[in-house]
Amino acid sequence: MRIHILLAIQTLVVLLGSINRLGSFTIGFVAANEFLRWVDLINMLPLPILSLVAFYLLKKHLENNGKTPAANTLLALNVLFIVSVYVMGASYGDHEVTNYLHTRFCNTNNDSDLCRIIIFNDDEFGHWLFFSA
């Protein structure tokens, strides 16, 4: 039964990703500074994390031949570690790209809306993700 739940979670992630990307209800901005839309944040953080955790738990389920592992605390710590690694990777991805754009296009003239958003992703959001990992 557990294997079916874990596979159903993967199906749910695909469906939610499709609805999120194709729907119009998540096109609003996450914050007043318009640094990111909800659709992008959802596709960058919660959906991949949910998918990653489900894949990891499926792997552990198959390794244990369907038995519940006795060390649930260790399993929880491993899941937390995997989520942290993903968030750290996302933070580097966000920060490095926007750092390049900041340095290349917004170093001297940073008054435009585009530069304000790039600088926020570079100096704020990427750092928030990194330090939360």
Q: What pLDDT digit, counting tens, does each position of 27-76 carry?
A: 999 999 998 999 999 999 999 999 999 999 998 888 887 776 666 778 88
In the chain, where are the structural domains located?
2-132
Asked if 130 contacts 88 with a C-beta cutoff of 8 angstroms, the reply is: yes
Which pLDDT score is estimated for 69?
A: 64
Are 109 and 92 contacting, i.e. CB atoms less than 8 angstroms apart? no
Q: Which residue has the tokens 């390794």?
A: 63
Span 69-113, pLDDT tens digits: 666 778 888 999 999 999 999 999 898 999 999 998 998 878 899
* Count of CB atoms situated within 10 Å of the CB of 64: 12
